[in-house]
Structure 1
Amino acid sequence: MSFSSTLENIDQADEETKRFLCSAGLEAEAFGIRLAMREGLINAVVHGSRGDRHKIVKYGLRLENNHLIVEIEDQGGGFDWQFHMGKEPALTSESGRGLAIMRSYCTDVAYNGKGNKLVLRKKIGEELLASKIAKQRDQAIVKPGTDVVASMAQGFRNELRSLVEKGLKELVIDLAGVEMIDSIGLGVFIATHNSLSKTGGKLIVT
C-alpha cells in the first residue's frame, strides 16, 4: 500500500497489518511486528519525508519462508543508518529509540544503501504455522494452521505429502478455520488428490 506522509495514515497501515496477521493465524506475533512496523513508519514520515504530506510512503507486509517481512520506503534523502544502528539514545532523550525497538522485536533490521528503504524480518516459529493433524488407522484429519495461500503452500504441501507417503487411505482436510485459498493452494489440494488416487485413497475437503 502507498499513502501520503502523515502520522494518521500509520493507523490505517496498522489496521491492515492486524487483518493480515489474523488471517494468517499469527496473532501471537502481532504485538512485536506491529510495534516495529509503527516505528519504521514513524521514521519514514517524520525523518524521511520530514512531514511533507505530498511525499509518498510505501508499505508492504508478506510471509515468506517462515519469516514475516516488512518493507517501508519513503521519498526522502535517506540517512547513515549503519552509524545510527549501534547507538543507544540517552535515557533523557525524547526521541531516537525507534531503531532500538525494531532491533528488539525483529530478527533482522536493514536499510538500502541510500537509507530510505527499510526491510524488517521476523522469524516465525514453525509451530505457529503447522497444521493440526489427528490420525486414526488409515485416516488423518488435517486442520491447516493458516490460510492456504502461495506464501504457505510449500510447507502445507510437504505436510500432506508426508501423510500420503505413510500409506493413508483417507485424508480429510478441515477448512473450518481457513478464510482464504488462492490458486496455488488449490493446486496443493489437486496434487494431493492425484497422489492418493494412484494408491486407491481419497481426499475429502470439509
Structure 2
Amino acid sequence: MLHIFQNEEFIQFKLSSEIKIVNNVIQNVRGYLKQYSIEDNQAFILTLRELLNNAIEHGNSKIPELNVTASIERIGDMRFKIVVEDEGKGFDYEALDLNMPDDPSQIRNRGLSLVNTFSDQLEFSSKGNCVTSYITLTRETRFDVTDDTSWKVIRPTGDITAETAEAFRTLLLNLINEGHYKYRFDLSDVEDIDSIVLSIFVIFSNMVSDRFPEAELQIVHTSKDIINLFRMTRLDNNYTIS
C-alpha cells in the first residue's frame, strides 16, 4: 500500500511496512526534487532511504499492517525537512550513539549514523518513533541552452563560480565557433558570481564584438546584487541588463 499527496512545496507518503515499496517512494521523491534542479543527490536519497528502512525494519518490525508516514518539505531555497514516523513502540533515542563506528565490521546503527552525518539537524519525538532530518543541498549548476528566434538563451541552473567556470567557458567558445552573435543570459537561478566568471563575461563580450559587429548581449532576470556587480565592473557597457 502506498498513498501519495503532493503540492508545490510538499510531498507526503503513507506506506505499509514493506521494504519493496521504498524504491517507489524514492522514485517519486526524485521527481519532486527535479523541480529544484536537483538530480539524484546522494546525501538526500540515502538519508530518506535509511529513515524509511529503519522505520519499517526496527520501528514496525516489518509488520505490513503497520504504516509509515514520510514527508518532504522545502523550507528554504535548498533546505528540506524530512519527517518519517512509524507506528511502533519507539525507543530510547537518548542512549543512541550517532557517531560512525570506527570498526567497519560494526553495522549496528550505521544507518542512523549516516543520516546524522548528512543532516544539518536531527530530531526525535519524545517516544522515539518519529525522526526529523533537516538537510541543506547544493544545486548542481548546468547550462541550459535554448533558441528564441535569432537569440541563444543561456540559463545556468545555479551559481556560476570557479568550480563551473571551465564548463561555462567551453560552452561559450563552442557557441562563438558555431557563428552565433546574439546571446541572452537568463540568471534567474544564479545568486553568486565570482571574479573568475566575471572575467569570462568580459573576454566573451570582447570576442563576440570583435568577430561579429552586429553582436548583441543581454543579461535578464538577475538579482540586484549581480546587477550592481556588473555595473561596478563596467560590464553594463558590454551587456544590456534588465
Shorter-chain TM-score category?
Answer: 0.5 to 0.7
How far apart are 1:30 and its partner, in Å? 1.2
Q: Which residue of the partner structure matches residue 104 of structure 2?
A: 91
Deviation sequence 1:70-108 (CA, Å, 0-9, x none): 111111111112211445545333432111111222212
C-alpha contact (below 8 Å) 1:45/1:74 kept by paired residues: yes
More helix by share: 1
C-alpha contact (below 8 Å) 2:122/2:131 kept by paired residues: yes
Higher RCO (CA 8 Å, separation ≥ 6 residues): 1
Deviation sequence 1:81-137 (CA, Å, 0-9, x none): 2211445545333432111111222212221111111111112348867578xxxxx
Q: Which residue of the partner structure matches residue 26 of structure 2?
A: 14
2:125 to 102, 105, 112: 112
**Which residue identity does 2:73 align to in structure 1?**
R
C-alpha contact (below 8 Å) 1:131/1:142 kept by paired residues: no
**Which residue identity does 1:91 align to in structure 2?**
P
Is residue 49 of structure 2 the alignment partner of residue 38 of structure 1? yes
Is residue 67 of structure 2 the alignment partner of residue 67 of structure 1? no
TM-score where L is the length of structure 1: 0.61
Q: Which residue of the partner structure matches residue 122 of structure 1?
A: 135
Equivalent residue pairs, number:
153
Is residue 68 of structure 2 the alignment partner of residue 24 of structure 1? no
CA pair 56-142 structure 1, distance change in 2 beyond 3 A: same
**Which residue identity does 1:37 align to in structure 2?**
L
**Which residue identity does 2:89 align to in structure 1?**
G
Matches within 5 A, 1:127-206: 142-145=186-189, 171=242
CA pair 56-37 structure 1, distance change in 2 beyond 3 A: same
User: How far apart, in 1, do the equivalents of 2:138 and 2:106 lie?
Assistant: 35
C-alpha contact (below 8 Å) 1:85/1:99 kept by paired residues: no
User: How far apart, in 1, do the equivalents of 2:189 and 2:60 lie?
Assistant: 39
C-alpha contact (below 8 Å) 2:100/2:114 kept by paired residues: no
> What SS class does the counterpart of residue 110 from structure 1 fall into?
strand
RMSD over aligned CA atoms reads 3.3
CA pair 15-126 structure 1, distance change in 2 beyond 3 A: closer
Deviation sequence 1:129-153 (CA, Å, 0-9, x none): 7578xxxxxxx8535439xxxxxxx
C-alpha contact (below 8 Å) 1:106/1:120 kept by paired residues: yes
User: How far apart, in 2, do the equivalents of 1:109 and 1:31 lie?
Assistant: 18
1:2 to 14, 25, 33: 14
How far apart are 1:12 and its partner, in Å? 0.9
Q: Which runs of 5+ in 1 are unaligned?
A: 133-139, 147-158, 172-206
Stretches (4+) displaced over 2 A: 85-96, 124-132, 140-146, 159-166
Identity %: 18
How far apart are 1:21 and its partner, in Å? 1.6
Q: Which residue of the partner structure matches residue 200 of structure 2?
A: none
User: How far apart, in 2, do the equivalents of 1:142 and 1:91 lie?
Assistant: 47
Q: Which runs of 5+ in 2 are unaligned?
A: 1-12, 142-156, 161-183, 191-221, 232-239
